[in-house]
Copies of this chain bind each other. A is one copy, B any other.
C-alpha cells in the first residue's frame, strides 16, 4: 500500500509496510517521530520508533532525504491532523542522505534555488503538489476529449514546413555543424541531411491537425511544441506542451462554447480531484487560489469583439487615467497588461475576445465580410492573460490562397495543406491551449519554470 492509501485506510492494529523518503525526524531520547512521504500525497505518514527497540546507528542514519522501508502496526494517531501513524517494528534503510551534502534540509527554500536543483525539487511539498496537479490536468484533458469522441492525433514534431510563422524555430540536423557538406555555390547541402532537406521543430501541430479534422471530424493534439525566441520571462518556455483541438463543422460560436466548457471542466476536475494539493498551495502561495478557480466555473465568460475591447481600453486610458506601458489603438496587438485590464479591472471575469484585425493574426483564419477582421478568438484569464488562442479557419480555397500570397506564405510547398480546401472543404475551427499556462492558473504559481519538470529557456537546458 502507498502512503495515500495507508492514510485513508479504515483498518487499525494491522501490520503494514510503508516505503518512502524521510521528510523530517524529531523526538527525544525515548522515541523518534519520522515523517515519511512516497509522493502519492502531500501528506506524510508518521512513523513512531521507540529508540530502545532500534540500533542507535540505524536511527542516526534516518535523516532528511533518506529512503526507508518500515514495517509496523497501523494505529490511531494521538496527534492532531493525522488519522493514523505507524508504530515501527523494523526499519530498513534503502539509501541514506548525508545531512552535510543533501540540499533539501528542513528549512524552506526559495523557488529560485529549487530551480537550480530541478532534479530534486519534486521531493518538496510544493513541487509534489504542482506535478500531481499537472498530471491531473493532463489526464482530464484526455478524458474530456475521449468522452466526446475526439481522436488524439500526433502531429509530427520534426517538420519540413515553417509556414505558420508562429515563431522562431529550432533547426534539427545530423550534419556536422563544424564542417557541413556544401553545394558548389557554397551553401549548405541539405540534400545530405538526415531527411534530405532542412528541418525544424514544430511551433504548432495545428496544420496537420486540420488535415485530421477534415477526415476524422473531431481531433486534438497534446504534445510538445517549440519556440526559439529569446524570451526570458515568467511566461515563456522554449519547449512547452500544447493542446490543440480541431473540429470539422464547428463555426466560431461553437468553438467558443467548446473552449469555455473545456476549461471549466478542467478547473472543476482540479477542484474535485486535487483538493489536498490545492489547499497546500493556497496556504503557502496564494490565498485566493480556490476562490479564483470557483469563480471561473461559476460565471459565463464575457464574449466581446476586439473593436469594443479596444474602445474600453481607450476609454480607460483617456477618461479614467489608467496608465498602460504599451499603446492602445485599433490594430494594435494587445499586451498582457491590456488583456488583464479587461479581465481583472473592467469585467472581473474571463473574456473571449473575437474578430481581431487580420494583420495581427495568422493567415489561416476565416476572413470576415468587413475585409478587415478575422474570426479569431482569444480566451483571456485573470493573472495569466491569454490562455487560449483559436479561430474559425478559412475554408475557401481562393480566399486562403490570396491571403497566403499577401503575407508571403509559400503556396507551392503548402499544397498538402491546401488540399483540405481543394477536396471536400468544410467549415471548421480549433484552438490552442498552452498547457503550462493552464497549470500556472490552476496551481497559482507565478513562474512558468515552476510548472514543468525541466524548463528549457535561453541558455538553460540542464538535466
Contact = CB atoms under 8 A, between A and B. Distances in A.
A248 interface: yes
B178 A188 contact: yes
A423 B228 contact: no
Given A188-B178, A224-B224, A456 B195 contact: yes
Contact of A149 (B40, B152, B416): B40
A453 B177 contact: no
A194 B238 contact: yes
A241 B180 CA distance: 30
Nearest to A172: B170
A369 to B, nearest CB: 18
B97 A195 contact: no
Contact of A65 (B177, B199, B424): B424
A262 interface: no
A418 to B, nearest CB: 10
A65 B423 contact: yes
Given A122-B216, A224-B224, A172 B175 contact: no
Interface string A140-174: 00110010010111111111110000001011111
Contacts of A218: 2, 39-40
B158 A196 contact: no
Given A21-B424, A95-B421, A171-B174, 9 more contacts: A39-B217, A67-B426, A94-B425, A120-B423, A135-B146, A156-B239, A157-B224, A160-B461, A211-B463
Interface of A: 2, 4, 19-22, 38-40, 65-67, 69, 94-98, 101-102, 119-120, 122-123, 127-128, 131-132, 134-135, 138-139, 142-143, 146, 149, 151-161, 168, 170-175, 177-178, 180, 186-188, 194-197, 199, 201, 208, 211-212, 214-218, 223-224, 226, 228, 230, 238-239, 241, 248-249, 395, 416-417, 419-427, 452-454, 456, 458-463
11 contacts: A19-B248, A39-B151, A95-B395, A119-B419, A122-B212, A134-B152, A154-B224, A170-B194, A177-B177, A196-B460, A416-B462
